Amino acid sequence: MRAFSKQMPLLYFILLFNIGFVSMTHFAVAPTWLTLSLPGIFAIFAISRLTIWWRTQFANFTPEQSAKRLKSTILFSGIFGLFLTVWSLMLFPYGGAFEKAHVAFFMAITTMVCVVCLMHLRGAAFLLAIQIILPVSTYLFVQDQAVLTALAGNWIVVMGALLYMVSGHYDDFSTMVSQRVDLENINRETKRLSDENMKLANIDSLTNLPNRRSFFSTVESFVDRSEHTKMGFAIGLIDLDGFKAINDLYGHSVGDQLLIEAARRLSEAIKGKAIAARLGGDEFGLVTSLTDDCAVFGLSICEALRMPYHINELTVEISASCGLAFYGQNCSTAPALIDCADYALYQAKFHSTGNAMIFTESHRQEMQLSHRVDQALRLADIKNEMTLHYQPIYDISTGEIISLEALARWNNATLGQIPPSQFITAAERSPIIEKVTQVLLERLLTDMKRFPENLRVAFNLSSRILASPKAMLQILSTIQKSDIDPRRLEFEVTETALLVDFDMALRALGLLSNLGAHIALDDFGTGYSSLSYVHQLPLDKIKIDRRFVMNAQSDIKAQNIIKTIVGLSNDLNLKCVAEGVETAEQVAFLESVGCHLLQGYFYARPGPTESVLRLIEAENPAALIAAG
């Protein structure tokens, strides 16, 4: 259609001129209606068609519209051909030989031009040509004049060749057009597929929220924008508390539905204020231009996510914690900003579960310290800088020390004394924890040669160790190579450590337990405390977390938890230790609920081997005598 439209103005232009010239040569000899009126009507018609074609050259028609127009064009060319034939045959009788020759010449070249101009529409070219050639050449033949007969012969031969060439060209042309259409279709399909891939690559298929990748690029683009416009923004990281427990307890299908509902609530809560994304697992992210009242905003999200979830006749309750960080001085790149929000989230999760926390200057200082600890740890001479302190555990019904807990101590050349809460956490972020554990275990086995044999010594195992078969094998072989009876050892593991990879942890504890070592569940009550797994573990002891002991005097809930844990350990035939005992009132309460094994500053702080040995000598003289 487009190729055809380009030729049409030219065709009408030539026709107008040629008809004009013939009218001129016949003006004196033929009637005016033939030389003026008919050509005049044609001119008006041709000029209107010319303008139409001129305009449509640039118009965008659908294939259907184009087909319709081209079909009507074939009809038009038929009518045209008829007009030209009738007009020229009517003019023919007028004038002398030159005028007649002019009409014949006019018809011959006009048909050729028409056929060439119509070559993109074979039907039109053929219809027009045949409609002119047949009657006009017949007319020339029947004139019975040798020159006119020869002229008709010339004309037919040339037109035959021309139509043949136009037909060949038309075939090539239509093949080219259909190939181009195919190519366009392929391109369109390719683009559709790549758009779809783009969408899939940026959308989380479970919740339909943007995914992690999309979140990071959104944060990047906000950072870029803020660099130019100086407009502030904040990002938030949201983590569901206790989601893993729901997943383990009720299965993945319930977990999935919970995530879908959480995503829906999140989208609802942030509507018009932020962009949300699912970062993976039970973690969500948001980017917001809000800079005022961000804490309130964060809290409203936590509240929306905290409402009970009704899934398949189940009612599930979980909470969500949120960490927020503003783009600014210390969080000026996308990764730094995400780190800051992550830190705030971590603080919210561990110090204020179910709430929103904003990254502050003091968080930044803590973070820097933790970076320094990370660095110092990488460079540390662990063997020489780390030692163990021991804290006794008393049986208050006899007043004697029944066991010790080994606690790591690190004295670094540049940073000084660093508490284990910091360096163990730092070490756990990397394989350094394996080295630290190995060094400390060797130290323990050496120190134990000096402790009475009837005193069990507890050693803390981190989650990373429990999850690493290589580290566990190293521990087993270190114990077997030492002269220490494994039955004198106890390993403390936290609930959260078990959750990293429960099956792996179960196997690791089985190995230790088979050696004869005892296993204690540390910080009980802080993690996910599901009874469903307690009985699967080869446990000997449960340690009540010191947070409950600390609150035992004032908080009825803490008291009830302690009572429940004591009851549970009695039922399961496990020993129960309360840690972090600091006051006589706590001792009295614990004793009243039947908890006799106590550990805490009230009795003794952790101390080096020498001082613990002196303590044992004072409190358990019998044990030392027995140890020889």
Out of Ca ion, ligand C2E, none, what residue 412 binds, judged by CB under 5 to 8 A for its kind, is none
Out of ligand C2E, Ca ion, none, what residue 223 binds, judged by CB under 5 to 8 A for its kind, is none
Q: Which is nearer to Ca ion, 25 or 463 (CB)?
A: 463
**27 by DSSP, 3-state: which?**
coil
Is residue 441 at the binding interface for ligand C2E, with CB under 6 A as the rule? no
Q: Which is nearer to Ca ion, 239 or 522 (CB)?
A: 522
Out of Ca ion, ligand C2E, none, what residue 424 binds, judged by CB under 5 to 8 A for its kind, is ligand C2E
Query: What residues have CB less than 8 Å from 506, skipping those under 6 apart?
Result: 498, 536, 537
- Residue 597 CB, shortest distance to Ca ion, in Å, is 13
Q: Is 443 exposed, middle or buried, given 0-12, 13-18 or 19+ CB atoms closer than 10 A?
A: middle
Out of ligand C2E, Ca ion, none, what residue 140 binds, judged by CB under 5 to 8 A for its kind, is none
3-state helix, strand, coil in the chain (%, to 5): 65, 15, 20
Out of ligand C2E, Ca ion, none, what residue 580 binds, judged by CB under 5 to 8 A for its kind, is ligand C2E
Task: Compute CA distances 467 → 183, 440, 497, whole Å.
Answer: 55, 18, 9
Instruction: Please write down the long-range contacts of 439-447, taking CB distance under 8 Å and 24 or more positions apart.
Output: 439/382, 439/383, 439/386, 440/386, 440/388, 440/406, 440/408, 441/475, 441/478, 441/479, 442/478, 443/386, 443/387, 443/388, 444/388, 444/406, 445/478, 445/479, 445/482, 445/484, 447/388, 447/390, 447/406, 447/609
Q: Which of 338, 316, 318 is nearest to 327 (CA)?
A: 338
- Residue 601 CB, shortest distance to ligand C2E, in Å, is 3
Out of Ca ion, ligand C2E, none, what residue 582 binds, judged by CB under 5 to 8 A for its kind, is ligand C2E
- The rounded radius of gyration (Å) of the Cα atoms in the chain is 47
Is residue 420 at the binding interface for ligand C2E, with CB under 6 A as the rule? yes
Q: What is the DSSP string of 45-109?
A: HHHHHHHHHHHHTT----HHHHHHHHHHHHHHHHHHHHHHHHHHHHHTTSS-HHHHHHHHHHHHH
Q: Which is nearer to ligand C2E, 81 or 580 (CB)?
A: 580
Is residue 391 at the binding interface for ligand C2E, with CB under 6 A as the rule? yes
Total binding residues toward ligand C2E, as defined by CB under 6 A? 23
**119 by DSSP, 3-state: which?**
coil
Is residue 522 at the binding interface for Ca ion, with CB under 5 A as the rule? yes
Residues 351-380 that bind ligand C2E (CB under 6 A): none
Is residue 124 at the binding interface for ligand C2E, with CB under 6 A as the rule? no
Q: Of 523, 527, 561, 590, which one interacts with Ca ion (CB under 5 A)? A: 523
**Distance of alpha carbon 469 from alpha carbon 472, whole angstroms:** 5
Q: Which is nearer to ligand C2E, 11 or 407 (CB)?
A: 407
Is residue 495 at the binding interface for Ca ion, with CB under 5 A as the rule? no
How far from chain centre, in Å, is Cα 301? Answer: 21
Q: Which is nearer to ligand C2E, 252 or 351 (CB)?
A: 351
Q: Which is nearer to ligand C2E, 339 or 582 (CB)?
A: 582
- Residue 215 CB, shortest distance to ligand C2E, in Å, is 33
Q: Of 424, 562, 576, 577, which one interacts with ligand C2E (CB under 6 A)? A: 424
Q: Which is nearer to ligand C2E, 408 or 542 (CB)?
A: 408
Is residue 210 at the binding interface for ligand C2E, with CB under 6 A as the rule? no
Task: Compute CA distances 423 → 14, 374, 378, 407, 411, whole Å.
Answer: 94, 8, 11, 12, 11
Query: What residues have CB less than 8 Å from 34, skipping those under 6 apart?
Result: 26, 87, 90, 91, 94
**Distance of alpha carbon 464 from alpha carbon 498, whole angstroms:** 10
Site stretch for Ca ion (CB under 5 A), options 189-197, 322-330, 358-366, 490-498: 490-498
Q: Which is nearer to Ca ion, 247 or 460 (CB)?
A: 460
Q: Of 262, 440, 455, 517, which one interacts with ligand C2E (CB under 6 A)? A: 440
Query: What residues have CB less than 8 Å from 317, skipping those under 6 apart?
Result: 306, 308, 309
Is residue 434 at the binding interface for Ca ion, with CB under 5 A as the rule? no
Q: Of 40, 160, 419, 510, which one interacts with ligand C2E (CB under 6 A)? A: 419
Q: Is 272 left (phi over 0), alpha (psi -120 to 50) or beta?
A: left
Q: Which is nearer to Ca ion, 460 or 609 (CB)?
A: 460
Interaction mask 452-491, ligand C2E, x per CB under 6 A: --------xxx-----------------------------
Residues 441-470 that bind Ca ion (CB under 5 A): 460
Task: Compute CA distances 619 → 118, 403, 495, 605, whole Å.
Answer: 117, 12, 32, 15
**397 close to 449: Cβ distance less than 8 angstroms:** no
Q: Is 523 left (phi over 0), alpha (psi -120 to 50) or beta?
A: left
- Residue 443 CB, shortest distance to ligand C2E, in Å, is 9
Site stretch for ligand C2E (CB under 6 A), options 250-258, 317-325, 355-363, 413-421: 413-421
Residue with tokens 């000997």: 540
**458 by DSSP, 3-state: which?**
strand
Residues 573-612 that bind ligand C2E (CB under 6 A): 579-582, 599-601, 606
Out of Ca ion, ligand C2E, none, what residue 420 binds, judged by CB under 5 to 8 A for its kind, is ligand C2E
Q: Which is nearer to ligand C2E, 133 or 461 (CB)?
A: 461
Which residues bind to ligand C2E, rule: CB under 6 A? 391, 407-408, 419-421, 424, 440, 460-462, 492, 522-523, 546, 579-582, 599-601, 606
